[in-house]
Structure 1
C-alpha cells in the first residue's frame, strides 16, 4: 500500500512511452518521475525498465508489475466514479423497519412520492413491532417511537406522537361526551391489550398539569390500533389509540377526538424517530429519505 503513488507513476511512464512524456502528463519534473520509478524498483528488488537514451523497455518482472498497476488504476477509477455517484445523487436500496400500524397508515402512503423524486432508489420496508438490531439484520434505517432512545445510535425526530381518545358520532349521541377523565369510567373503552397501562390510565392536563388516574372498563382489548379504530367506527366505545392511527378518520369526520386537553402519560408516546448507525458519512440515499420524511 505504501507504493501506490509509485505504481501509478510507473504505469504512466510505460503508457506514455518515456519519462519526459509521463512528466508532462503528470505535471512533474522528469527527475521526480525517475526517482519514483527507482523507488519502486528498489522496493521490488529488481529492475522493471531497461533504459536507453531514446526508449524504454519492460523487463519480464516489469511486464507483470505493469499489468498489475493497470488493474489497480482501473479499480481506483471505478471506485472514484462510484464515490462521485454516491455523493451526487441518491441511489441504491434502503432497508427500513417500522412499527406495523405506523408503517401502514403514515409511512407507506408517503413512499411513492419519495420514489418518484428519487428514481434510482428502491425501498425494502419491513413492518414489525419490535426494535431490530440494525447491524445484525442489515437495516439501514429504523422508525422508532419513544420518549428516549437507547445510546449508541444516531436519530432524527420526524414528528411528535401521543395517544388520543376517539369515539364515533353515533356512540357519543347515545352515551354522551365525557367532560373530564373521571367520566370515562361510565363508558366502554377500547385499548391495546398488550399495553402496560391496560385499564389503568393516567392522564395529565396539558395546560395546568393536573393528573387524574382512572380505571376504565372494557369488553374489548385488541393488540392493533387500526383494529381498535375499526371498532370505534363501529360504535363499540371510546378508543385510546396513537394519534397517527386516527388522524385521517378525524379529518374525514368519521371519528371525533374527546378530552383533547388531556394526554396519556405513557413511555410509548413522545416522538417518532428515524434511527440509523452513527458515522461521519451518512449515505446520501438515507439522508435524502430522512429529509423527505421530515418535510412530510
Structure 2
C-alpha cells in the first residue's frame, strides 16, 4: 500500500496510459515505434505525451521529423518514473492474472527454415489454447529491434542481445558436420576435424560481416579443433547450404535443428559423431520489463513447454553419446 500511495502522491492525477506512452516513447526513440509496442496510433501516443507535458509544465522531448530526444527534464523524469511504473504495472498484472484471457496480435520474428520446421507446427495448438490471440509471425534472417519495430518476441540462436531484452533458452544450438550418403560413397569417413580438409566443403559467408563463418569443434575429452573445411562452395544462407549438402556437393557444418529431419530420414548422414560445436542456445527473446502483455507471457510459457513436450532440447543435442540424452546419428 505504501508503494501505491507513493505513486499517487508523486504522479498526481496522471494516468498510467500517459506515463507509459512517455516511457515507451523514450525507450523506442519515436512515437511510431512506441505506438506499435502499445497497439495504439502514433497520434494517440503523441497526444498522451503532450498531455503529460502540459500537466507537468515542462517539455520532456526535443522533437524532430526523424527522432525524439529527451530534454534534461525528460531524462530526470524517466529516471524517476521508469522503474516504479513497471513495478506498478507488474502488480496490476499479478492482481489481474485471473482476468480476461490473453488476446490481441502477437508479432513474432524467427528464422525461416527453423521457424517453418519447428515453430509453425505448434501454432494450431497455441491458437486452440488462446483463441483470442491473432498470430503475425515474420520469417526472416535478421536480428530485429523488439521495441522499435513493435515485435512482442523473437526466436533465434547466437543472437547478441540488445539492451533491454532478456532471453529464455529453449534448446541447445549445436553445430555438426553432415554430408549426403551419395557424396560419401567411395570416400573414407574422417576420424577427426583435420581430415575434413580431404573433402569438398560448403562454407558460409556471413553477409553482415563479409567473413567466412568458422566453428571450433570439441569432443568428449575436451579437445578442441577448428576444422580445415575447404571452401569449394561458399553460400550465405543455411537453407542453401543444407540443400547443397543434400545434392552431394560436399560437407557442411550446420545446426542439428537445421538438419534434424534430413538426418532422421537418411537424406544426410553425420560425420565425426564424437565432435560438435556449441554455438550457445536457441532462445525466445522479449522486452525486459516487469510487465508483459498477457499474450506475450502466454506465448513464452507455451513455446517453452511445447519444446520440452516434443523433446526438442534432447533432439537438437549434438554432444557425443556418452554425454547426451540421445544425440542424432545416422
Same-fold call, TM cutoff 0.5: yes
Query: How has the CA–CA distance of structure 1 residues 210 and 292 changed in structure 2, closer, same or farther, with 3 Å as cutoff?
Result: same
| Separation of aligned partners in 2, 1:258 and 1:105 | 23
Query: How has the CA–CA distance of structure 1 residues 202 and 133 changed in structure 2, closer, same or farther, with 3 Å as cutoff?
Result: closer
State the SS of the aligned residue for 1:245. helix
Name the residue aligned to 1:274: 284
State the SS of the aligned residue for 1:193. strand
- Structure 1 residue 240 corresponds to structure 2 residue 253: yes
| Separation of aligned partners in 2, 1:99 and 1:200 | 18
| Separation of aligned partners in 2, 1:200 and 1:229 | 15
| Separation of aligned partners in 1, 2:282 and 2:303 | 11
Query: What is the TM-score of this pair, normalised by structure 2?
Result: 0.58
Name the residue aligned to 2:225: 212
Query: How has the CA–CA distance of structure 1 residues 214 and 280 changed in structure 2, closer, same or farther, with 3 Å as cutoff?
Result: closer
- Structure 1 residue 165 corresponds to structure 2 residue 177: yes
Name the larger-Rg structure.
Answer: 1
Name the residue aligned to 1:117: 129
Deviations 1:202-242 (A, max 9, x none): 53323222122332213212212122111111111111112
Give the total of aligned pairs: 216
Displacement of 1:96 in angstroms is 0.6
More displaced 10-residue stretch of structure 1: 146-155 or 218-227:
146-155
Displacement of 1:200 in angstroms is 7.4
State the SS of the aligned residue for 1:156. strand
Query: Residues 169-188 of structure 1 correspond to what in structure 2 (within 5 A)?
Result: 169-188=181-200
Displacement of 1:130 in angstroms is 2.1
Deviations 1:160-217 (A, max 9, x none): 1121111112222222211111110000111222277966745332322212233221
When the two chains are superposed, the root-mean-square deviation of aligned CA atoms in Å is 2.9
Name the residue aligned to 2:302: 292
| Separation of aligned partners in 2, 1:236 and 1:218 | 11
| Separation of aligned partners in 2, 1:289 and 1:202 | 32
For structure 1, the residue ranges without an aligned partner over 5 or more in a row are 4-79
Query: What is the TM-score of this pair, normalised by structure 1?
Result: 0.65
For structure 2, the residue ranges without an aligned partner over 5 or more in a row are 1-7, 14-91, 308-330
Query: More strand per residue: 1 or 2?
Result: 1
- Structure 1 residue 263 corresponds to structure 2 residue 292: no
- Structure 1 residue 100 corresponds to structure 2 residue 112: yes
Name the residue aligned to 2:164: 152
